[in-house]
Each structure stands twice: as C-alpha cells, then as structure tokens.
Amino acid sequence: MMTTNSPGHPPSLSLLAVHLRIALRNIVRHQRRSLLTIAAVAVSVFCLIVFQALLAGLHQKMVESALGLDTGVVQLHGADFSRNRTRLAPLPNPEIIAPAFKAAGLTRFAPRLKAPALILAGRHSSSVQLSGIEPEQEAQVTLVRQKMVQGNYQLGPGQILVSQGLADALGLKTGDSMTLMVQSLFGQAKTGKFTVAGLFATGLDSFDQSHVYLSLATAQTLLEAEGAITEVAASCPPAEADELATRLRRQLPAGRFQVQVWQELAPDLAQLMELNNATFRMLIFILFAIVAMGIANTMTTVIFERFREFGTLTALGATPKNIVSLVLTESLLLGLFAALAGTLAGIAATAYCARYGIDLAHFTSANQYFVAGSVLKAVVTPHDLILANGITLATAVAAGLYPAWKAAQLNPVKALAHV
Amino acid sequence: MSDPAPLAVALQGVTMTYRTNGHAVHALAGIDLTLRQGEFVCLAGPSGSGKSTLLHLIGSLDQPTSGTIRVGEQEISGLSRQESALFRRRATGFVFQTFNLIPVLSGFENVEYVLLLQGVETSERRQRVMAMLAAVGLAELADRRVTELSGGQQQRVAVARALVGNPPLVLADEPTGNLDSTNGESIIRLLRRLNEERGTTVLYSSHDPRIIAWADRVLSLQDGRITEDRQQTGHP
C-alpha cells in the first residue's frame, strides 16, 4: 500500500537531502562561478575574523595600558571622595579593606596614599602627584615596575621613584637628593628629603612628568597620616569588573565607601572602545552588504539559467515553498563553503598575528593606550568565530531570499518554454 | 452494455486569451471536452493550434481566461499556486518534448523526486522507483546521470517520472518530438503499454501521423477549437 504524507506537510528530511544534493552538484557543475562567489564571500569572512581579532587585541592593549598606568580595573574610595578635591580623604576602617577584597575574589589589589606635592631640587621645582605604595602589591596592578629604566623599584625609607623625564627636567640622577613639600592630613605644610632610588619611563610624557612614588609607610609619615590610605586599586579581567565590584560592595559597610569600575574611572577609554566597535560594525555592515549583493547576483544568474528546471519541478508538484527551499539551500551552501574557507584562513592569520603581532610603533605617536607595548596582537575567541560564521550564513540566506522568491513566483508555462 | 468509465477530465467553455503587444491572441476559443478514465487520447494539430495550452490548463500549470476545468472530482480552475502544486503532485504526471530532467541527478533520483514530494517512505520509494525504471527498461542505468543517457533513454526516465506517483492522468506534450522515429515509436509504445497495464488516462499531443495512430481517440485542434473528435481502432 502506498504511504504518503498528507498534502501540505512540511518538506521531509529526505526532500531536503535531495535539495542539498541538487544544490551541491550545481555548485560543482558551475565550478568557476561558484569558486568566484565563494572566494569573494570567504575574503569577507576572513576580513571579519581578522579585523575583529585585531580590534579585540587593540582593546585589550588599550585597557591594559590605560588601566595599567595607575587606574586599575576597580577602585575603592571613601564615600565622600572627589577627584577635584585636594584635601586628603583617608578611607574609613582600613583594617576591613584587605579581607573585603579577598572575599570578593579580587586578589590583586594595591593600597595607596595619594596627595599633591611639590618637588624642590636645587633651583628647579615641579608639582606632582605623590603616591605612597606597597611596591609588591602595586606591581600586581600597575606597570611602573616593568617600566623601570634605572635603579631599584623596591622603595626603602627615605627613597623616592621619579621618572626619567622628570629627573632630566630637574637635573636629578639616581642617588641624588631632593625635597618634597606636601600639605599634611592636618593641613600643615611638611617637607621631607628623599634620595632618588630609581627612574622609570612609561613613554607617556604627561604621566611621567607628574607622578612620583614613596613607600606607603614613608608617605604616611610625611603626610602625618599613620595607617591611612586614600584608595585601593585592583586588577582583574576587565570583563569581570562589574561582577567583582558588586561582590566587593556587598563585603563593605553600606554608605561609607564608593566602588568604581574602569568604565567610570576612565570613561574616555570606554567611549573610545564603543566608538571603535560602532565603526567596526558599520564597516562589517558595508562589507556584508557587498557580500549579499554578490550572492544575490550569483543566485539570480542561477535562477535565470535554470528557469526550465524550476518550471519542471513546479509541474511535478513542487510548491513555492519547495522551490524556495531549493534555492535557499544552494545559497546557504555557498555561504557555508565560504564561511569554512574564510574561517580557516582567518584562524591561520590571527594565529600568526597572535604569536608575532603587528608593531604599531611606526604608525602611532606615544600615547596612553600603548604604554604596555606597541605590538598589537590579535585576540580571537570562539564567540567571535561563531558570530562571524553566523553573520555569513545569515547573509547568505538573506541574499538568497529574493532570488528564491522570484523562482517560486515563476510562471511555470513561461519557465518551461524558456530556452 | 457496460457502464461508461467515470470521467477523468471535463472542460466546459474553456477559453484562453493572451495579450501580446496589445493584441489579443485567442489560444483556445471555447473548448468543451470530456475524457474518461483509461482513455489513450491524442491531441493532433499543427503548431500554434492550442495543443500545449490545453495540456497546460488541464495540468493546472495555467489558468483559463474563462470556463471550468474538472479533473476527477476536483474543479481546478481558480486554484492558488499552492493548491495547483498539490493537485499536480497528486493527480498528474507530465512528459515534455525536451525531457526536462534535472541534469545533476541520476535517473533514479529524477524519478524518486516525485515520490519525495508525495512523502513516500524510503523503502517503498526505492522499491517503486526501481520497479518503474524496470518497466521502462532502464533498471540497469538507474544510477547514471541523466546527461550521460541518450535522448530516448532520457525520455524513458521522464515517462517513469510521470507514472511513478500513480497519477490518474498523464499529460504528454509532444513526447516524441525530440526523438528519431525509432525512439519516438518506442516511447509511444511504452506509454500505450503503461496505459493498458495501469489504466492511467493519457492525453498526449503530436502532429506526427505515426504517433497519432497509437491513440484510441484523436482530438484535432485548429486555431484553438476542436474541429474533430474521432475514435480509432487497431493501433500498431
């Protein structure tokens, strides 16, 4: 007895399999045209993957550099802290802070005591930002230790770190003495004499000219702020900043502290990254609009060449949906091959760029976004690969929709008469 | 005397008018026609007489300008695209002058496509396709690409494709028109045999007297009208 589905049932898997076979064989049959289309789309996929990986690498470098100078990824201040205020604002209950950071999962953090200061060296002087740091903890958050060019990073009592640029400007060298003038916690002018223990050079002149470091204990003594700190900076993967900041807030008494993440601390960086992403998305949109036109053009040619075939299938009882399925299968298959080729080439190129990188030193001037190094390395993630392939396949299907609809709307009599 | 066979096709007042460059062309001008189940009927007439148009209308590939067409129990004038497709899938098989096989598929796959559309299960599908290809003498060449087959063999595949779905009606538009006389006769003999064995109603068009001679009934078309409807006996 004959077994059939009732009319109007969705196409069976077997029918889809035959459509796949027809599509595949037609792609092979028209090798040159198929290869050209696949190559064009594959180049776009390749560009998407490589650009995305380079952009991710660029953002990683920017974040690493900009936040690694001083800011960190998460910062803790007192509730009444304001960046515009010059008065020292020590954190309340400093003894609960370290346990709170650890409990929140922030293991790399550095307590600081910051205050404005004036350097006096012979006939020279310069206003700077003084940071009292725990050198070992600070090195887990910022890049200063990596940027030492002379002397010792480990600060002892009576020692100070200044930048190479500032030392040159003040006529100082390692081992020389200079005087720091500050306003103490109680508002009194205080001075201290310090020996230059080491010189650093981040490459960012504006930063180098305005930052000096004492050990935390030395700074606390100078500022008459025994046991006080004004901020704690922590380092963690930027993507985890919000979650870790939330956990940290839960560990601290409400209303006495403020916890800020890097987007609040460095809004210009976050905005620049958003701008980069928006520009990239526009570029990809244009690229894939061109891809879509390429596929649509190929599929329109396919339809034109196979008018009679579609007319025949219609005569056999293929519904408009069956015809759409057949055309879209071919379009999707072209996209699939292109995605595969583009992805393989993209992975190879990004693997190379991830290993050897691209040195941007010759293309950019020194700026805060390349302090950590000028070699841009690609960062490719499974998410980006899936996204690139998803966009390609969606574009292939979208590009095939109009030709598929046209094929489904063909007048079968005219299609059968087509020569 | 036995009862006549049920009606397979009934047309009433069917007209078909095309507009070409602002001029009306009357391809069919008021066709009244009935075919009974199991008939083997030839539409005879010169090119442009309306044979193909009539076949297309009966196969629901086109819609008449006016009149009604009934195939079996179903009124088909006025069907939507989707309904027409489902009607053709179930009720008709087409054989074309130019074979119209899917070039990238094998003979087996071309014939199988109809059963895939009908949703026939895999094992039954395979068995029916092979039986049909055996019936047209092509079982041995089932897996060969149709582009590797001769014209006569390709038309045999087309006949197998038209019949494999067990349609009550087969429409063949100049099925021997692209074949030499030997292959042409072989194809019409095949259609005739399958008509007799299966009781399938066959309506084919031709202007070749040797092919027309195989029909039980000949409808002569001239300028979109049936000018003669005659029975004939003693086919070759």
Convert the pLDDT of each residue in A157-212 to its tens digit.
Answer: 999 999 999 999 999 999 999 999 999 988 899 999 999 999 999 888 889 999 99
What are A318's two structure tokens? Answer: 């293929």
Q: Which residue has the tokens 């609960």?
A: A96
Tell if the CB–CB gap between B119 and A9 is shorter than 8 Å: yes
Residues A317, B118: C-beta atoms closer than 8 Å: yes
ipTM of the complex: 0.92
Tell whether B51 lies on the interface with A, counting CB pairs under 8 A. no
- Element (H or E) spanning A299, and its range? helix A267-305
Q: Tens of pLDDT along chain A (419 residues)?
A: 334 444 444 447 889 999 999 999 999 999 999 999 999 999 999 999 999 999 999 888 888 888 888 999 999 998 887 766 667 888 988 899 999 999 999 999 999 999 999 999 988 899 999 999 999 999 999 999 999 999 999 999 999 999 999 999 999 999 999 999 999 988 899 999 999 999 999 888 889 999 999 999 999 999 999 999 999 999 999 889 999 999 999 999 888 999 999 999 888 888 999 999 999 999 989 988 888 888 888 888 888 888 899 999 999 999 999 999 999 999 999 999 999 999 999 999 999 999 998 887 777 766 667 766 778 889 999 999 999 999 999 999 999 999 999 999 999 998 988 76
CA distance B182 to chain A (A): 26
Strand partners, A200: A148, A163
Contact B146/B103 with Cβ under 8 angstroms? yes
CB-based contact A313 B102, cutoff 8 Å: yes
pLDDT for residue A63: 85
Q: Assess B10–A contact: CB distance below 8 Å, yes or no.
A: no
Q: Is B121 on the interface with A (CB under 8 A)?
A: yes
Tell me which residue of B207, B208, B209, B170 sits closest to B190, measured CA to CA: B170
The predicted structure's pLDDT at residue A6: 41
Domain topology for B7-231: Rossmann fold (3.40.50)
Report the candidate in B159, B199, B200, B150 with the shortest Cα–Cα distance to residue B179: B150
Which pair of tokens denotes residue A276? 């980069």
Interface check for A175 against chain B (CB to CB < 8 A): the answer is: no
Q: Any idea which residue has 């074979």 for tokens?
A: B99
**What's the average pLDDT block by block, 10 residues per block, for chain B (236 residues)?**
82 93 89 96 94 96 95 92 95 94 96 95 95 94 96 95 95 93 91 93 95 96 95 81
Q: A316, B124: Cβ pair inside 8 Å?
A: no
Q: Do A317 and B109 touch (CB under 8 A)?
A: no
Residue A7: per-residue pLDDT: 43
- Find out whether A288 and A395 touch, Cβ atoms under 8 Å: yes
Structure tokens at B47: 């090119």
Q: Looking at beta carbons, which residues of chain B come within 8 Å of A21?
A: 104-105, 109
Q: Report how far residue B165's alpha carbon sits from residue A156's, in angstroms, rounded to the nearest whole number.
A: 95
pLDDT of residue A356: 92
